């Protein structure tokens, strides 16, 4: 599990569609909120872009991503 890879949400770009929260099955986001709140960074899978790929607002970057 990843201590050096997890999503960072740009709250100004986010339109709170909930896609990222819905997508992730690793407990990274608080499932009780449509607005993405990262609660468990250790659950994130190293190198995964699953939530970011779904984001319509390009509001997700990853801590640890060398391409940003
Ligand atoms: S990158 Fe993958 S594991 Fe990490 S929060 Fe997004 S969907 Fe979940
Ligand atoms: S998918 Fe993008 S726009 Fe939708 S809630 Fe997540 S960060 Fe916000």
What is the atom index within ligand 2 of the atom nearest the CA of 51?
1
pTM value? 0.93
* pLDDT for residue 1 is more than 90: no
Residue-range domain boundaries for the chain: 6-63
Shortest-distance Cα residue to atom 3 of ligand 1: 44
6-63 belongs to which CATH class? alpha beta
Residue 31 CB less than 6 A away from ligand 1: no
pLDDT band of residue 2 (cuts 50, 70, 90) is low
What are the distances in angstroms from CA 67 to CA 14, 20, 43, 47, 57?
Answer: 20, 20, 21, 12, 18
Tens digits of residue pLDDT in 15-68: 999 999 999 999 999 999 999 999 999 999 999 999 999 999 999 999 999 866
- Tell me how far the alpha carbon of residue 42 lies from the centroid of ligand 2, in angstroms: 20
pLDDT of 11 higher than 80 = yes
Ligand 2 centroid, distance to 61 Cα (angstroms): 11
């Amino acid at each position: 599990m990843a201590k050096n890879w997890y999503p960072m949400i740009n709250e100004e770009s986010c339109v709170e569609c909930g896609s990222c929260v819905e997508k992730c099955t690793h407990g990274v986001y608080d499932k009780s909120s449509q607005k993405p709140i990262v609660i468990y960074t250790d659950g994130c899978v190293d190198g995964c872009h699953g939530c970011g790929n779904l984001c319509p607002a390009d509001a997700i970057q990853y801590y640890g991503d060398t391409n940003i």
